[in-house]
Structures are given as structure tokens and as C-alpha cells.
Structure 1
Amino acid sequence: MRYAGVAVAVAGVLVAAGAITYSVAEDGGSGVDAPAVESADAGFARDMAVHHQQAVEMAYVVRDRTDDEDVRRLAYDIAQTQANQRGMLLGWLDLWGLPKVSADPPMTWMDMGDMASGEDGALMPGMATNAEMKKLGTLNGKQAEVFFLQLMTDHHKGGIHMAEGCVAKCTVGVEKRLAQGMVDAQESEIKLMADMLKERGAQARP
């Protein structure tokens, strides 16, 4: 039952995603001005697409490192949800005629472009380093489960921070609603992962 609540939240985000994609496409064809290249809308779409890609990679790595059904199910849901959302974000950039990459540092749209640059691949808050990704790929069983849950908890916290930034700063209504859906779903998953870590005698990293 505990997993069912998270699954319902994720399913809700995916159902909303279809409606949001249709709505944005309709707006794009009705003469509504596209956001500017330096806007929060464009910045969030670019940065969250990169952030999501790493989550998808982590989920697929752990799926092959454990036989635990709960962890594998969570990893699958994260991979499917975030891959779907990433496709939407990149699709919106195409629809708006905006580049998918920027010469500005990540998080510039949140006035955080001067934060410490991406040390060892951790380009944005919550992202794992290249060394951590490599380590995850060497672990098996319970060790892989715990490390994945810790990494993904950090990843979700960073993602929530970014999504909350879009809710506050973005101007495209459907994008703001998607961002709020990300906040709600990832907060639920953080609670679930805290329980899963406790079951394994571990906890989230400080």
C-alpha cells in the first residue's frame, strides 16, 4: 500500500503530461509569444532535461544491480516518468524555436549561475558526480540499493529546488503546472525512499 500512493502520484503526473503537451502545442499554434531564450521557462526546460537524464541513467544502472522488486519498481517508475518529462521539455524548446543548450552556466535563470561549477560532472544541485555514478555501477544487492536510494534522494531534493524555481519564475502556465507536479511526486518518492533506507539500516546522506 505504501508504494501505491507514490504510484498514483506518478501516474497523475504522467496523465497530466499528456494534457500539458497538447495544451502547449495548441498554444504554440495560436500565436502566443514563445518565451525568450534567457527566460526562466527556457532555462528550466534546458536544465531539468539534463537533470532528468542523469536520474534515468541511475535508475537503469540499479535495475541491473539488484533483484529487489521494490527497488526495481521504483527505478522503473522514475526512469519512465523522467524520460517522459524530459521529452516534453525538449519538445517545448523545439516548439518555441529555442536552443537546447546555452552558453550561460546552469541555473542562470534562477540567479545561481555563479554557483560552484559542475565538479566531476555534478552540474546542478543534487546531481551525482562521475565518481559516484561509476561507484553505483560496481555495487550489487543491498549495497547498490542503499547507494542508489541515497543518490536519488539527493537528486530529487535538487530537482524539487529547481521545479519550485520554475513555479515561482516561469510564465508559461502549463510548464508551471508540470513543475508543481514534479515537486509533489518527488516529495512523495523522497518519503518512500526514506522508509526503504530505514528498512536497510541506512538513511539519507546529511
Structure 2
Amino acid sequence: MKKISYSLIEEQEGKTWKPDDHISFVDLLADERYCGISYNEKEEVRGLLKKNPEFWKQRPLTERMKRVAADDVKFLLHIHQKMVRKLGPLSRWQLKLRGSLYCRCFCVDAGVYQDWPDLPGPPDEIEAELSELQEILSAVDVPPGKMGYIIGKKGASILRIKESCKADIFTGGAKGPPDKVFVIGIMKEVRKAEAMLRGRIGVRSM
């Protein structure tokens, strides 16, 4: 949700936001719009995590680990409140909608979303023609052995599709179904992405 909120604020302020742009917690803390503080200890922990991906599995937790984990919660709440205040009616609706769609990506049960509430519709104060900005979720099935064609060397293929379609595209990976690619965006861009993804699935090895 942090990335979604940040990207919506950037778009709202007329800035360009690319699908694979990354905003870290430390960057958010340093941003004058949200906190405007540096967090050296968090940077140090990030460095340790890069060296040892198992860093957070260490037990017992050190005092520094406890401080950093607690600060994540403390500062994120403050940042969230500031972000929400910056979002206009349209962006707040898009945040709710996109957040709901992201959640569904990792709760797929044979293609059915059981007991899910309806997706939020646009608020009354948004003009009717803006309803075309309604985003949808598409789950593209990928046959065994074809995911590599979707992703491409060092992620080049999927990045090209993202840049061409102005949609969020990601695989289930370790957190979701490994045989699906999810696409979130307005209908026109989602349909375009689906066609490009299926084109990659149809690629045959030479």
C-alpha cells in the first residue's frame, strides 16, 4: 500500500512514475513531505540484510533489531496519515480499489474469490466520465516451462510490457500462484498487456 499511495501522490502532482520505480522506507523518512529525517540505523540494517538474507531469522533478536522493527510501525503510521491527507477524492478511491485488487492476487482459489466484498465504486463527487478509470485485475495462466519467456533475461521482457502498457504486472512468485501473471490497470491497458503476455507465452525456443 505504501508504494501505491506514493505513486498516486506522484501522479497527482504531475510527476512521472514508472511501474518498477522503488521507494524505500528510508527514502520516505527522508522526504520532507512526510518526515524529513535521516535514519542511519535503518540503513545499517539494510546493509546487513543484503549481506545476509537470513538476517531477520536470527534469534534471539538483538536490541537494534527490536528498535528498527518497532520504528517501522511507529513511523509508517505517521507516514500513512500524511499520505492519506494528500490524496484527493479520485486518488483515495484508486488507492482502495488498487489495494483490493492486489489482495486478490494472492488469495486466488481456483480462480474464485470466495466471500470477497464488492470492489469499491467511484465516489459521488467524482464526475461520471472518470469512471472509465476503474481498474480491473486479470490473471493470465502460464503453461509449465513458459514463465521464463514472460520474464525474459534479467526481467527485460516483462519490463518492456510494463512500460508499453502502463499497468502493474507481476508474477505470483513465492507469495502467490507460481503459474500466473497478474495485471492491474484500466481495461484498455490490461487487454493490451494480456495480448503481449500471450505473445510471449507463444514464443518457442530456437
TM-score tier (shorter): under 0.3
Structure with the bigger percentage of helix:
1
Identify the structure with bigger relative contact order (alpha carbons < 8 Å, sequence gap 6+). Answer: 1
Normalising by structure 2, we get a TM-score of 0.26
Structure with the bigger percentage of strand:
2
